[in-house]
Amino acid sequence: MGTHPHFGPEEFAARLGRLKARLAEKGVAVALFDEVEAMTWISGYGNSENRWRCVGIPLEGEPFFLIRALDATPCRDRSWISDIPTFRDWEDPMPVLAEALAKRGLDSATIGLDFGSYCMPLARFEALKAALPRARFVDLGPVVWELRLIKSEAEVALLRQASAIADEALARAARACVPGASQRDAARIASSCYIEMGGDPSHVGPITAGKGWDFLHGHLTGTPLAQGDVVHIELTPRVAGYSARVMRCVSVGPVPEALAKACATLADLQDRQIAALRPGAVARDVDAILRDGVLEAGLRPGFDNITGYTLGLYAQMGPRTSDFTRIFHPRAEWVIEPGMVFHMYVSAAGASLSETVLVTENGPERLTHTPRRILVGGA
């Protein structure tokens, strides 16, 4: 049984207890989880889908972690789960899964799955049903994603560390935005800062030069920067997979007056939006503060994107770069709760701002602390 470097046994016991309560509500005898974020949150370990793998959680009895033999030792080192059935790379994992379930008398049970899992395409689901012909499969939905919304103190500590890395990496990257340098220089410096400060080796985040509001997810280039360019930097450092995020624009040379004014307006609107992130608030109302304000100020002709989304554990090898379990938009009826953490962001008229925000019992707490203005390259 492995030891996790950041979470103790009591953390995983609490997660397992919350999960089993939800499984009991769903009426399943056992649940299978194969998305890497879900596996990692439950067990302490997750890896890529080069070969299919899953965590099995029976309502009664011991969990198991089905995994390819090559990855069994790293799994044992990190996970609290001790039963780890394996298969060789050229073998079909489904018979091994069927055997693991049969050992527990669960091969003809009601089995819960997330039918929306990115690891369960139609062909695999058919193979699963063929391996377990007497079982009944029911949809659990994104149950683990929902449970992950409320962060523990240990998780918040990792997000605080990631936020500090985000602030420092942003300051260093901004200093690199000078004439003759490139966006790649900023990315290199930010990436090095992640590693130096204890972060994970991972994607730096979008860094691109552009104007307007829809350039945020543009392409990193090696084109030399010139006086008057504006570089959008969104950094997404992770610590043990937990990602904080911060976004600013950097002016190469003096900040144009119109850009500074637009950024000040956005900062004021977003400050009001963040202040509204209090327990019991309805997401659509929080969204409207920023969305309506930006449109009324004439900073954008339309507003087609969300204004915030969930932060937390992001798997390095997963297909999702952002967690949209909870998002802020005009039809969002969900209610804000203590322990939620969000990336709140806005862009318009060439300016962009974002923060990592924790919701506490007493209201919002910004975890990122970079000055809320256009930064000046080289400063």
Q: For residue 66, which of 91, 109, 34 has the smallest C-alpha distance? A: 34
- In the chain, domain spans: 9-147, 153-376
Superfamily of structural domain 153-376: Creatinase/methionine aminopeptidase superfamily (3.90.230.10)
Q: For residue range 113-127, list pLDDT tens digits in order.
A: 999 999 999 999 999
- Give the span between the Cα atoms of 323 and 330, in whole angstroms: 18
9-147 to CATH, choices 3.10.129.10, 3.40.350.10, 3.30.70.1890, 3.30.300.30:
3.40.350.10
DSSP state of 44: S
pLDDT classification of 222: cutoffs 50, 70, 90: confident
Q: Kindly report the length of the chain.
A: 379
Q: For residue 55, which of 38, 78, 80 has the smallest C-alpha distance? A: 38
Distance, first Cα to last Cα, the chain: 50
Q: Is the pLDDT of residue 198 over 80?
A: yes
**Which is it for strands 86-87 and 64-68: parallel, antiparallel or unpaired?**
parallel
Q: Do domains 9-147 and 153-376 have the same CATH topology?
A: no
pLDDT for position 215 = 57
Q: Is the pLDDT of residue 211 over 60?
A: no
- Give the span between the Cα atoms of 155 and 169, in whole angstroms: 21
Q: For residue range 246-274, list pLDDT tens digits in order.
A: 999 999 999 999 999 999 999 999 999 99
Q: For residue range 278-298, list pLDDT tens digits in order.
A: 999 999 999 999 999 999 999
**Which is it for strands 110-113 and 86-87: parallel, antiparallel or unpaired?**
unpaired
* Distances in whole angstroms, Cα of residue 223 to Cα of each of 133, 182, 209, 299, 362: 58, 6, 10, 28, 46
pLDDT for position 174 = 97
Q: For residue range 124-151, list pLDDT tens digits in order.
A: 999 999 999 999 999 999 999 999 999 9
pLDDT for position 202 = 86
SS3 254: coil
User: Strands (DSSP E) along 114-222, which ranges?
Assistant: 136-139, 207-209
pLDDT for position 216 = 58
SS3 261: helix
Tokens 């919002």 map to which residue? Answer: 364
Q: For residue 313, which of 1, 6, 65 has the smallest C-alpha distance? A: 6
Other C-beta atoms lying within 10 Å of the C-beta of residue 304: 8
In Å, the largest CA–CA distance within the chain is 71
**Amino acid in position 362:** N
Average pLDDT, the chain: 95
